[in-house]
Amino acid sequence: MDITLEKIENLIERTNASYTEAKEALIKSNDDLLKALLIIEENRENE
């Protein structure tokens, strides 16, 4: 698993997520950017 600042910033730009939210989504998705995007979207729908 190689979570980089570049990936976190990419998620932040695409979703307007916080740094923590983006990093946690990447951890949960095993560093898969697409899955992380879906996790963030699902979390927002559930709020």
Among residues 17, 30, 22, the alpha carbon closest in space to that of 5 is found at 22
pLDDT, tens digit, for every residue of 12-47? 999 999 999 999 999 999 999 999 999 999 999 988
Any idea where the domains of the chain sit in the sequence?
A: 5-46
Residue 10 CB burial class (10 angstroms; 0-12, 13-18, ≥19): middle
Q: Where residue 10 falls among pLDDT bands split at 50, 70, 90?
A: very high
pLDDT at 9: 97
CA distance linking residue 39 with residue 26, whole number of Å: 9
Report the Cα–Cα distance between both ends of the chain, in Å, rounded: 28
Residue 6 has pLDDT above 90, yes or no: yes
Phi, psi of 37 (to 5 degrees): -60, -45
